[in-house]
Amino acid sequence: MGWRIINSMKKALFITISISTLLTGQLSSDLITVRDIRLENLKRDYSGKTIRFVDSKSVSNKGILLDVTDENIIISKSGSPVPFNHSKIKYVFVDPKKKELAMVIGLTALGGISGYLGIMLGKSDANNTTKAVASSISASLAGIVGHKAFYKPIKIDISGKTYD
Protein backbone atom coordinates (compact mmCIF):
# COMPACT_ATOMS: atom_id res chain seq x y z
CA MET A 1 0.00 0.00 0.00
CA GLY A 2 2.81 2.41 0.93
CA TRP A 3 4.65 1.70 -2.33
CA ARG A 4 1.60 2.64 -4.35
CA ILE A 5 1.41 6.04 -2.66
CA ILE A 6 5.14 6.64 -3.22
CA ASN A 7 4.88 5.59 -6.90
CA SER A 8 1.86 7.85 -7.48
CA MET A 9 3.71 10.75 -5.81
CA LYS A 10 6.73 10.10 -8.06
CA LYS A 11 4.48 10.12 -11.14
CA ALA A 12 2.80 13.35 -10.04
CA LEU A 13 6.19 14.98 -9.39
CA PHE A 14 7.50 13.83 -12.77
CA ILE A 15 4.44 15.18 -14.61
CA THR A 16 4.66 18.51 -12.74
CA ILE A 17 8.37 18.93 -13.55
CA SER A 18 7.79 17.97 -17.21
CA ILE A 19 4.97 20.49 -17.66
CA SER A 20 6.85 23.30 -15.92
CA THR A 21 9.96 22.65 -18.04
CA LEU A 22 7.85 22.78 -21.18
CA LEU A 23 6.15 26.02 -20.16
CA THR A 24 9.43 27.65 -19.12
CA GLY A 25 10.96 26.77 -22.48
CA GLN A 26 7.97 28.24 -24.32
CA LEU A 27 8.01 31.48 -22.34
CA SER A 28 11.74 32.01 -22.85
CA SER A 29 11.73 31.34 -26.60
CA ASP A 30 13.55 33.97 -28.58
CA LEU A 31 11.08 36.25 -30.38
CA ILE A 32 13.64 37.14 -33.04
CA THR A 33 14.14 33.48 -33.89
CA VAL A 34 10.39 32.95 -34.16
CA ARG A 35 10.09 35.99 -36.44
CA ASP A 36 12.98 34.78 -38.63
CA ILE A 37 11.37 31.37 -39.02
CA ARG A 38 8.05 32.95 -39.99
CA LEU A 39 9.77 35.22 -42.52
CA GLU A 40 11.61 32.24 -44.05
CA ASN A 41 8.29 30.39 -44.31
CA LEU A 42 6.67 33.43 -45.92
CA LYS A 43 9.44 33.57 -48.52
CA ARG A 44 9.33 29.82 -49.16
CA ASP A 45 5.55 29.46 -49.38
CA TYR A 46 4.38 32.72 -50.98
CA SER A 47 7.17 33.95 -53.31
CA GLY A 48 5.61 34.90 -56.62
CA LYS A 49 2.14 35.31 -55.11
CA THR A 50 0.21 38.51 -54.49
CA ILE A 51 0.33 39.67 -50.87
CA ARG A 52 -0.83 42.75 -49.02
CA PHE A 53 0.13 44.34 -45.71
CA VAL A 54 -0.01 47.59 -43.78
CA ASP A 55 3.43 49.19 -43.36
CA SER A 56 4.81 51.31 -40.51
CA LYS A 57 3.19 54.44 -41.99
CA SER A 58 -0.26 52.77 -41.91
CA VAL A 59 -0.35 52.57 -45.70
CA SER A 60 -1.80 49.45 -47.30
CA ASN A 61 0.54 47.91 -49.86
CA LYS A 62 -0.17 45.17 -52.37
CA GLY A 63 2.15 43.44 -54.79
CA ILE A 64 3.84 40.23 -55.83
CA LEU A 65 6.28 38.92 -53.22
CA LEU A 66 9.76 38.83 -54.73
CA ASP A 67 12.04 38.32 -51.74
CA VAL A 68 12.31 38.50 -47.96
CA THR A 69 15.67 39.68 -46.58
CA ASP A 70 16.90 40.23 -43.04
CA GLU A 71 15.40 43.73 -43.03
CA ASN A 72 12.96 44.03 -45.94
CA ILE A 73 10.03 42.50 -47.72
CA ILE A 74 10.49 43.18 -51.42
CA ILE A 75 7.36 43.25 -53.55
CA SER A 76 6.74 44.10 -57.17
CA LYS A 77 4.45 47.12 -57.55
CA SER A 78 3.66 48.16 -61.12
CA GLY A 79 6.50 45.98 -62.40
CA SER A 80 9.29 47.44 -60.26
CA PRO A 81 10.69 46.02 -57.00
CA VAL A 82 9.90 48.05 -53.87
CA PRO A 83 11.45 47.20 -50.46
CA PHE A 84 9.55 47.65 -47.20
CA ASN A 85 11.13 47.35 -43.77
CA HIS A 86 9.33 44.46 -42.09
CA SER A 87 10.23 45.35 -38.48
CA LYS A 88 6.90 47.16 -37.97
CA ILE A 89 4.74 44.80 -40.06
CA LYS A 90 2.72 42.36 -37.94
CA TYR A 91 0.58 40.58 -40.51
CA VAL A 92 0.73 39.74 -44.21
CA PHE A 93 -2.44 38.75 -46.07
CA VAL A 94 -2.82 36.52 -49.12
CA ASP A 95 -6.11 37.26 -50.86
CA PRO A 96 -8.31 34.44 -52.22
CA LYS A 97 -8.06 33.48 -55.87
CA LYS A 98 -10.56 32.50 -58.58
CA LYS A 99 -10.51 28.89 -57.37
CA GLU A 100 -11.99 29.92 -54.02
CA LEU A 101 -14.61 32.09 -55.75
CA ALA A 102 -15.58 29.12 -57.93
CA MET A 103 -16.07 27.04 -54.77
CA VAL A 104 -18.40 29.68 -53.33
CA ILE A 105 -20.40 29.89 -56.57
CA GLY A 106 -20.65 26.09 -56.74
CA LEU A 107 -21.81 25.86 -53.14
CA THR A 108 -24.41 28.58 -53.78
CA ALA A 109 -25.75 26.70 -56.81
CA LEU A 110 -25.83 23.46 -54.84
CA GLY A 111 -27.78 25.22 -52.07
CA GLY A 112 -30.32 26.54 -54.56
CA ILE A 113 -30.81 23.15 -56.14
CA SER A 114 -31.16 21.42 -52.78
CA GLY A 115 -33.76 23.99 -51.66
CA TYR A 116 -35.76 23.41 -54.83
CA LEU A 117 -35.58 19.62 -54.48
CA GLY A 118 -36.45 19.86 -50.79
CA ILE A 119 -39.66 21.74 -51.58
CA MET A 120 -40.49 19.32 -54.39
CA LEU A 121 -40.11 16.34 -52.06
CA GLY A 122 -41.77 17.96 -49.07
CA LYS A 123 -44.75 19.49 -50.84
CA SER A 124 -45.64 18.02 -54.21
CA ASP A 125 -48.29 20.62 -54.99
CA ALA A 126 -46.06 23.65 -54.27
CA ASN A 127 -46.56 26.67 -56.50
CA ASN A 128 -43.78 28.45 -58.38
CA THR A 129 -43.51 31.23 -55.77
CA THR A 130 -42.83 28.77 -52.97
CA LYS A 131 -40.24 26.96 -55.09
CA ALA A 132 -38.52 30.24 -55.94
CA VAL A 133 -38.49 31.45 -52.33
CA ALA A 134 -37.11 28.14 -51.02
CA SER A 135 -34.44 28.06 -53.72
CA SER A 136 -33.44 31.67 -53.09
CA ILE A 137 -33.23 31.29 -49.32
CA SER A 138 -31.21 28.07 -49.47
CA ALA A 139 -28.90 29.49 -52.18
CA SER A 140 -28.35 32.64 -50.11
CA LEU A 141 -27.58 30.68 -46.94
CA ALA A 142 -25.21 28.35 -48.81
CA GLY A 143 -23.52 31.36 -50.41
CA ILE A 144 -23.01 33.03 -47.04
CA VAL A 145 -21.57 29.85 -45.54
CA GLY A 146 -19.33 29.33 -48.57
CA HIS A 147 -18.11 32.92 -48.47
CA LYS A 148 -17.28 32.68 -44.76
CA ALA A 149 -15.58 29.30 -45.16
CA PHE A 150 -13.67 29.58 -48.44
CA TYR A 151 -13.43 33.18 -49.62
CA LYS A 152 -11.36 34.84 -46.94
CA PRO A 153 -7.76 36.04 -46.99
CA ILE A 154 -5.02 34.01 -45.36
CA LYS A 155 -3.61 35.96 -42.41
CA ILE A 156 0.10 35.29 -41.80
CA ASP A 157 1.52 36.47 -38.47
CA ILE A 158 5.15 37.62 -38.84
CA SER A 159 5.29 39.55 -35.54
CA GLY A 160 7.35 37.00 -33.61
CA LYS A 161 4.82 36.69 -30.79
CA THR A 162 4.15 33.15 -29.68
CA TYR A 163 0.93 33.99 -27.83
CA ASP A 164 -1.97 36.44 -28.11
Domain regions of the chain by residue span: 2-95, 98-150
The domain 2-95 is placed in CATH, from the list 2.70.98.60, 3.30.365.10, 3.40.50.280, 2.30.30.100, at: 2.30.30.100
Per-residue pLDDT tens listing for the chain (164 residues): 556 666 666 676 667 776 666 555 554 456 778 888 888 988 898 888 999 988 878 888 899 999 998 888 999 988 899 998 888 888 999 988 888 899 999 999 999 999 999 888 888 788 889 889 999 999 999 999 999 988 888 888 887 676 65
- For residue 113, the model assigns a pLDDT of 94
Q: Model pTM?
A: 0.61
- For residue 18, the model assigns a pLDDT of 67
Per-position b or e across 131-160, b if 16+ CB within 10 A of its CB? beebbeebbeebbeebbeebbeeeebebeb
* Per-residue pLDDT reduced to its tens digit, 86-111: 888 889 999 888 888 999 999 999 99
- For residue 58, the model assigns a pLDDT of 81
- For residue 126, the model assigns a pLDDT of 84
Helix runs in the chain, H state only? 2-27, 31-46, 98-122, 128-150
- For residue 28, the model assigns a pLDDT of 46
